[in-house]
A and B are shown apart, each in its own frame.
Chain A
Amino acid sequence: MSAPTETTWVPVIGLEVHCQLKTASKIFCGCANRFGAPPNTLTCPVCTGQPGALPVLNDTALDLALRAGLALDCELASVSRFDRKNYFYCDLPKGYQITQYEVPFASGGGIELANGKHIRLTRIHMEEDAGKAIHDRGTHTLVDLNRAGVPLIEIVTEADMQSAAEAFEFLGLLKERLRFAGVSDCDMEKGSLRCDVNVSVHLPDEPWRTKVEVKNLNSFRHVRTAIEHEIARQISAYESEDPSRQPVQETRLFDVDSGTTRPMRGKEDEGDYRYFPDPDLVPVSASRERLEEQRRLLPELPAQRRERYVSEWRVGAREAAILTADRPLADFFEATVRALAENEGGAQAAAKWLTNDVLRIVGEQGTGSLSDMPLTPGQLARVISLVEGGELQRKGAQCLLARLITEGGEVDSLVVELGLAAVTDDGQLRAWCLAALAGRESVAAQVRAGNEKAIGALMGPVMGSSGGRADPARVRALLLELIREDGP
């Protein structure tokens, strides 16, 4: 029997994802929930833990949490409860965090990966964020409580993932759903999405080995690197059989510079949190009406939309994937399709124009996304209609879209102003064709000899003369006509 090698070890990965809810105010007080304000300006007696101040649950936070639960196919508790998690830290104003421990608002649910694997969720609970301790300012530690009391949901998965790639894919899908549902921005840079991972490995048919938690992961890329590193570290430790290297149950921090993990200093996380029901808050009830309302507000999620675009609207799979990467884009697309309701094949045209031309032009602007630009779905639909009606040629449409995206304006007047209207006057077209034919007798001869493809050599000059405003099909027909008329 051969010794186990890296390839036989099976990694086991679970995630704990903290996600800030996109509410206007904090979870238990009226202070603004906003990133980037000067330190300690978004605070009040409640979120700074002044003696006697009391928390009152923000209804919108509950609504968004419920909607997140629906978006992740969870089972929602009709009654959940808030508990206190007691520990001391300088960024924790009350000496406890209000969270849901015994009875979370959501359990079960999950997300399916592209390979068909279902990643199960254990639970989702609501809680308040802590403040921020800043340790790198000389001898002092500074505390900013703007973040204290920002509403969070913590999404805990089962240990269903077996590779960093699966964890990475899961996070991407999770982010996509939560953003679509309008629950969170899921912006790791602004801390609105944070992720801890639990990693262990085992040999096939053997029990799981020691679980290690890794914190301080500030981007999806870090999550992937940290998991990869941790799997390698654990396998190498087990294979070395060196007792001093054997993994222990602990929390490790990811080091961004080296891409490795190291044990967390101190034992701050090993405390006894003495959870108990928070007597300041009443049980949270999610009535059926409330759930229905959130179900109604829950937009169709990306996977469903993709499916519909492909099967109902005959949009290409690649285009459907691009269009559903981001909710504003998908909404823009659907609004364009609605505006094109009269047109046969409007959805396919809209998908092509959006994914080929519009996104390219937006990308060329460098910053901002489509929703930051003045172009409206109605305008795009009008441009497409003009093209389909032969009043605008592709080149002209691209030029027009660039103008609409960068500066905005009114479609029909821009067509005039920029001189983009398609040339439909046969007399004019015929004149350009004759000019192109002059001196190109050999081409005409080839065509007459049955090589219709040779006509391409004449198309370029004609289109050039028209400034791209001629209909190529019409030009082609006219050229054929002229060549045959002129023939023997």
Chain B
Amino acid sequence: MDARTLREQILRGEATVLETVRSALADIDRRDGEVHAFLTVEKDYALERAAALDRELVELKAQGAVPPPLFGVPVAIKANLAWQGFETNCASRTLENWRAPYTATAVRRLVDAGAVPLGTTNMDEFAMGSSTENSCHGPTRNPRDLTRIPGGSSGGSAAAVAAGFVPLALGSDTGGSVRQPAALCGVAGFKPTYGRISRYGLVAFGSSLDQVSPIATNVGDLELALAILAGVDERDATCLREPAPRPQSVGLAGLRLGVLEMAPNSLEAGVEAAYNAAAAALEAAGAVLKPIALPHGDLAIPTYYVLATAEASSNLARYDGVRYGLRAKQYRDQAPAGGSLQEMFAATRRAAFGAEVKRRILLGTFVLSHGYQDAWYGRASRARRLLAQDYAAAFEQVDAIISPTSPCVAFPLGARTADPLSMYLADTLTVPASLAGLPAVSVPCHALAEERNGSGQDRQAELPVGLQFVGPAGEDARLLAMARAFEELAP
């Protein structure tokens, strides 16, 4: 059941908020042991808030007022969004037991819209990863196949929606961290134009790429989430100075869609079949398909891993054990003999971060270092501009560009952990739009590929595939309207 339907039920009196929240909590209790979507479940808070909302509803009804758009809807929050008074640990030992002293703008806006946050969801440590296996609390499993990864880094949020624990969850997307897990879990995920949703309170990974991004069971709920989450925020200098966009309507007939040119054999067979079926369905509905190349597309992955790691190396410098979070044990009360401040920083950071985070901090420190900066960070910044120009040129010819969201379906747990590069390549199709700051949405498309369902020989063929739409900067509402029109083609 999606968020809007749930709210309607509550307003019609078919269920109280308390019943709704209790049932979601019970579901989590029963099934999240195996999925492990949540890092924390704030039961007391959720039940108390639910009861308060039920009381509020009586008053609202008496006044004839309309309850806010997410009234009574249980939601999940990725563990990298500050939520005052609650543990916001980023799946890192660094922030174990760290309770945020303030609330992120996005979380505040969900709560103001009547939502009931149930807890925080699992993720790759500091959002660095594509499988949610880089969590200090252990991986999340894909609800569609518990032997497989849910994608990442917002794997916990995608799994929470896919498992039916909540209809709506917040994630964050830096290079595909919401779109890819949404695709792999068979739900809808949307990364808005950079700056559309305030980043205030989103624990930074790659600040010039990070966007708070919603995950839902369908595009309609994403449109609702955008309307609630977007808008001016004085606390984020990079936030757009525009009001939240209003939902639009777009017909597929005559819509010009660019079909992203990809290297041959770059997609898994199952993904290719689902994607071809989706493209065919769009064409049958009247969309005009046109091949589109991004001449600098090959530079996207190396560019991304230079820029994102450079920013990360600086963003994660604050975890030094001085003010909050983990401090190396030997330095907790008093410095050991021969200890120094620099040694405390080193010991603390050695103990605090997982292997992937360390790898990226090292990479980022290297690409910014004196004598190497222009060759790495400087060139990557120039490549980023070239890629943005490629997109600008493409959008003179088409309204949006389609591609699969991920070149592969969910892979088995552990399959790629030993090979970071193969993990990085899982982001090939999502990273370009991130670098260009463009809105991009992933919608499930596997149901359209009948031949896949028919084969039935291997479970991989039944795993979800996502179709990604990338649109021009600022056209978030139009892009979501297209995605919704596509979604309506699926049975």
Question: Looking at the complex, which one of B102, B208, B234, B319 makes contact with A53 (CB distance below 8 Å)?
Answer: B102
| Nearest-neighbor residue (CB-CB) of B369 within chain A | A272
CA distance A52 to B79 in the complex (A): 12
CA distance A94 to B238 in the complex (A): 19
25 A-B pairs with C-beta separation under 8 A? A51-B100, A51-B203, A52-B88, A52-B203, A53-B201, A54-B200, A55-B237, A56-B237, A57-B237, A84-B314, A88-B320, A88-B342, A89-B341, A95-B320, A141-B341, A143-B323, A274-B313, A274-B365, A276-B310, A276-B314, A279-B208, A280-B204, A280-B207, A280-B238, A282-B237
Residues in chain A near residue B237, CB distance under 8 A? 54-57, 280-282
Question: Looking at the complex, which one of B82, B310, B345, B365 makes contact with A51 (CB distance below 8 Å)?
Answer: B82
CA distance A272 to B368 in the complex (A): 9
B320–A50 CB distance below 8 A: no
A50–B370 CB distance below 8 A: no
| Nearest-neighbor residue (CB-CB) of A82 within chain B | B237
Besides the known contacts A50-B102, A96-B317, 6 further A-B residue pairs in the complex with CB atoms under 8 A apart: A49-B318, A51-B203, A51-B204, A52-B88, A95-B314, A274-B370
Q: Is the C-beta of B351 less than 8 angstroms from some C-beta in chain A?
A: no
A96–B102 CB distance below 8 A: no
Q: Is the interface of B mostly helix, strand, loop or mixed?
A: loop
Q: Closest 3 interchain pairs by CB? A: A95-B317, A279-B208, A274-B368
A274–B235 CB distance below 8 A: no
Q: Which of B347-374 contact A (CB under 8 A)?
A: 365, 368-370, 373
A51–B98 CB distance below 8 A: yes
B365–A52 CB distance below 8 A: no
Residues of B within 8 A of A (CB): 80-82, 88, 90, 95, 98, 100-102, 104, 199-204, 206-208, 234-238, 310-311, 313-314, 316-320, 322-324, 334-335, 341-342, 345, 365, 368-370, 373, 377
B341–A279 CB distance below 8 A: no
B236–A143 CB distance below 8 A: no
Q: Which of A59-97 contact B (CB under 8 A)?
A: 84, 86, 88-90, 93-96
CA distance A93 to B324 in the complex (A): 10
Q: Is the C-beta of A33 less than 8 angstroms from some C-beta in chain B?
A: no
CA distance A48 to B317 in the complex (A): 13
| Nearest-neighbor residue (CB-CB) of B210 within chain A | A279
Residues in chain B near residue A96, CB distance under 8 A? 314, 317
Question: Looking at the complex, which one of B199, B206, B341 makes contact with A90 (CB distance below 8 Å)?
Answer: B341
| Nearest-neighbor residue (CB-CB) of A28 within chain B | B237
With A48-B323, A53-B200, A56-B234 as known contacts, state yes or no: A139 contacts B334, CB within 8 Å.
Answer: yes
CA distance A95 to B369 in the complex (A): 16
A485 to chain B, nearest CB (A): 87
CA distance A364 to B318 in the complex (A): 53
CA distance A139 to B331 in the complex (A): 12
Interface residues of A, count at CB 8 A: 32
Residues in chain B near residue A49, CB distance under 8 A? 318, 323
CA distance A208 to B339 in the complex (A): 40
With A45-B101, A88-B342, A280-B237 as known contacts, state yes or no: A51 contacts B318, CB within 8 Å.
Answer: yes
Could you mark each residue 101-143 of chain A with 1 if its beta carbon is under 8 Å from any beta carbon of chain B, else 0? Answer: 0000000000000000000000000000000000000011101
Residues in chain B near residue A52, CB distance under 8 A? 80-82, 88, 100, 104, 199-204
A-B CB contacts (within 8 Å), total count: 109
CA distance A326 to B202 in the complex (A): 48
Q: Is the interface of A mostly helix, strand, loop or mixed?
A: loop
B311–A139 CB distance below 8 A: no
| Nearest-neighbor residue (CB-CB) of A91 within chain B | B322
CA distance A272 to B95 in the complex (A): 27
Question: Looking at the complex, which one of B98, B235, B314, B341 makes contact with A54 (CB distance below 8 Å)?
Answer: B235
Question: Looking at the complex, which one of A53, A56, A88, A281 makes contact with B317 (CB distance below 8 Å)?
Answer: A88
A26 to chain B, nearest CB (A): 14
A266 to chain B, nearest CB (A): 8
Residues in chain A near residue B323, CB distance under 8 A? 48-49, 93, 143
Could you mark each residue 427-458 of chain A with 1 if its beta carbon is under 8 Å from any beta carbon of chain B, else 0? Answer: 00000000000000000000000000000000
CA distance A52 to B202 in the complex (A): 5
CA distance A140 to B344 in the complex (A): 13
Residues in chain A near residue B314, CB distance under 8 A? 84, 86, 95-96, 274, 276
Residues in chain B near residue A95, CB distance under 8 A? 314, 316-320
Residues in chain A near residue B368, CB distance under 8 A? 86, 274-276
B332 to chain A, nearest CB (A): 12
Most buried by B among A57, A280, A281: A280
B27 to chain A, nearest CB (A): 29
Could you mark each residue 258-302 of chain A with 1 if its beta carbon is under 8 Å from any beta carbon of chain B, else 0? Answer: 000000000000001011100111100000000000000000000
CA distance A88 to B346 in the complex (A): 10
| Nearest-neighbor residue (CB-CB) of A56 within chain B | B237
With A57-B237, A94-B318, A96-B314 as known contacts, state yes or no: A45 contacts B207, CB within 8 Å.
Answer: no
Residues in chain B near residue A141, CB distance under 8 A? 341
CA distance A191 to B370 in the complex (A): 32
CA distance A52 to B101 in the complex (A): 11
Residues in chain A near residue B88, CB distance under 8 A? 51-52
Most buried by A among B234, B311, B316, B319: B311
A41 to chain B, nearest CB (A): 15
Most buried by B among A90, A274, A275: A274
B472 to chain A, nearest CB (A): 21
Residues in chain B near residue A45, CB distance under 8 A? 82, 101-102
Residues in chain B near residue A86, CB distance under 8 A? 313-314, 317, 368
CA distance A90 to B98 in the complex (A): 19
Residues in chain B near residue A140, CB distance under 8 A? 334
Most buried by A among B202, B319, B320, B373: B320
A349 to chain B, nearest CB (A): 53
CA distance A139 to B340 in the complex (A): 12
Question: Looking at the complex, which one of B318, B322, B377 makes contact with A143 (CB distance below 8 Å)?
Answer: B322
Could you mark each residue 31-55 of chain A with 1 if its beta carbon is under 8 Å from any beta carbon of chain B, else 0? Answer: 0000000000000010011111111
CA distance A96 to B320 in the complex (A): 12
B471 to chain A, nearest CB (A): 23
CA distance A90 to B327 in the complex (A): 13
With A45-B102, A51-B88, A53-B200 as known contacts, state yes or no: A279 contacts B317, CB within 8 Å.
Answer: no
B171 to chain A, nearest CB (A): 15
Residues in chain A near residue B310, CB distance under 8 A? 276
Residues in chain A near residue B238, CB distance under 8 A? 279-282
| Nearest-neighbor residue (CB-CB) of B342 within chain A | A88
Most buried by B among A45, A49, A54, A139: A54
Residues in chain B near residue A55, CB distance under 8 A? 237
Question: Looking at the complex, which one of B206, B316, B318 makes contact with A93 (CB distance below 8 Å)?
Answer: B318
CA distance A329 to B369 in the complex (A): 51
B190 to chain A, nearest CB (A): 21
Residues in chain A near residue B322, CB distance under 8 A? 90, 93, 143
| Nearest-neighbor residue (CB-CB) of A272 within chain B | B370
Residues in chain A near residue B320, CB distance under 8 A? 88, 90, 95
Residues in chain A near residue B334, CB distance under 8 A? 139-140
CA distance A54 to B82 in the complex (A): 12
CA distance A93 to B321 in the complex (A): 10
Residues in chain B near residue A53, CB distance under 8 A? 82, 102, 200-201
CA distance A249 to B201 in the complex (A): 43
Residues in chain A near residue B370, CB distance under 8 A? 272, 274
CA distance A377 to B334 in the complex (A): 60
| Nearest-neighbor residue (CB-CB) of B344 within chain A | A90
A488 to chain B, nearest CB (A): 96
| Nearest-neighbor residue (CB-CB) of A273 within chain B | B370
CA distance A272 to B82 in the complex (A): 32
Question: Looking at the complex, which one of B101, B199, B234, B377 makes contact with A276 (CB distance below 8 Å)?
Answer: B377
Could you mark each residue 297-319 of chain A with 1 if its beta carbon is under 8 Å from any beta carbon of chain B, else 0? Answer: 00000000000000000000000
Residues in chain B near residue A139, CB distance under 8 A? 334-335
Most buried by B among A53, A90, A282: A53
A56–B341 CB distance below 8 A: no
